[in-house]
Amino acid sequence: MASIQAVAFPSGAPAPYVDLLITGPAPVGAATVTVSRTSEGRTFKVRGMVDLDVNSELTRRDYEAPFDREMTYLAQYFDGGGNAVGYSEQASVRLPALTRGTAWWHNPLDPESAVRVMMGPNAASELTREIESELLRVRNRSVGVMIGGVRQGLTKIPLDCITLTPGESARFDALFGGYDRIVTGVVCIRPSGVIPLPGVLFANVSAPTQQPYNRKQRVDPSSDWPLVGDEVAPPAPAIVRALLTYQDFEDFYSSYAEFEAAYPSYQEASRDY
């Protein structure tokens, strides 16, 4: 039976991550496999581990794993027609807690964009999840009739942040795009456990605002970011920017023979970030 090896790397680069590797035989008839992560009662597909060929290198790094929370990973197998044919064994892991009051932010499609910032004192000070509903007033009835619906995600979330240096401010600002660079409009936020937000929050911040942290002392390089965001769905989990490419190996090794001598298998090479 297939199993998942899940190992936490709290000091990983460019941000903390969970390293995933599927081992063992796939179920009979399996053609593809998709891995999901469950934590805090919510399940997300792992970015880059969706509809993978079972004969490919089944390893990825999960940069969307929450901190200081129990999480489990599960692989589900499908045949060529998209029918489920089996599961792997579950794997449980926990990323250690972050420094109190901090959070990692990044563009979900580009882990290289990751930056850790301090969350401001107003961050998550008010959390609202509206209920999609409609009140109907019925003739000759003293009270209305409520037509209920799904409770929505968080809206108008205070996401105040503080950056400490000009370089950190520039890197944080780049998450939201630039004059000639378009981004998805979605950021992945992974806060420390003491901040009352979901362990992994995908949010849209439509009006990023940067202010001097100490307006009276302009020599202070810190910046205050009084941000407000809305919870949104993550970008399609099958889309991800590769952190390791063939070009990296071509730049490092002078010949294919050197490459083959360095790795006992292609799987070992694919995990050598």
Question: Residue 14 is part of a domain; what is its CATH number?
Answer: 2.60.40.10
What is the reported pLDDT for 219?
56
Quote the longest CA-to-CA distance of the chain: 86
Q: How far apart are CA 54 and CA 34, in angstroms?
A: 10
**Domain-located, residue 107:** yes
Asked if 142 and 46 sit in the same domain, the reply is: no
What is the reported pLDDT for 60?
93
Query: How open is the CA angle 16-22-26, to the nearest 5 degrees?
Result: 160
**Domain-located, residue 248:** no
Asked if 202 and 109 sit in the same domain, the reply is: yes
How many structural domains compose the chain? 2
Query: How open is the CA angle 63-41-236, to the nearest 5 degrees?
Result: 45
Q: Which two tokens stand for residue 268?
A: 């070992």
Asked if 165 and 125 sit in the same domain, the reply is: yes
C-alpha of 228 from chain center: 19
Asked if 174 and 202 sit in the same domain, the reply is: yes
Asked if 55 and 139 sit in the same domain, the reply is: no
62-103 tens-digit pLDDT: 999 999 999 999 999 999 999 999 999 999 999 999 999 999
Q: How far apart are CA 213 and CA 115, in angstroms?
A: 18
Domain that holds residue 216: 102-231
127-145 tens-digit pLDDT: 999 998 888 998 888 898 8
Contacts 24+ apart (CB under 8 A), 50-54: 50/237, 50/238, 51/78, 51/238, 54/26, 54/30
What is the reported pLDDT for 213?
74
- The dihedrals phi and psi of 91, each to the nearest 5 degrees, come to -130, 135
**Domain-located, residue 238:** no
What is the reported pLDDT for 193?
84
Averaged pLDDT in 10-residue chunks for the chain of 273 residues: 94 95 94 97 96 90 96 97 95 95 95 95 94 88 88 96 94 91 88 93 95 68 93 89 55 57 56 53
What is the reported pLDDT for 240?
72
Asked if 210 and 185 sit in the same domain, the reply is: yes
Q: What pTM was computed for the model?
A: 0.84
**Domain-located, residue 197:** yes
| Nearest to 110, CA basis, from 243, 202, 201 | 243
**Domain-located, residue 265:** no
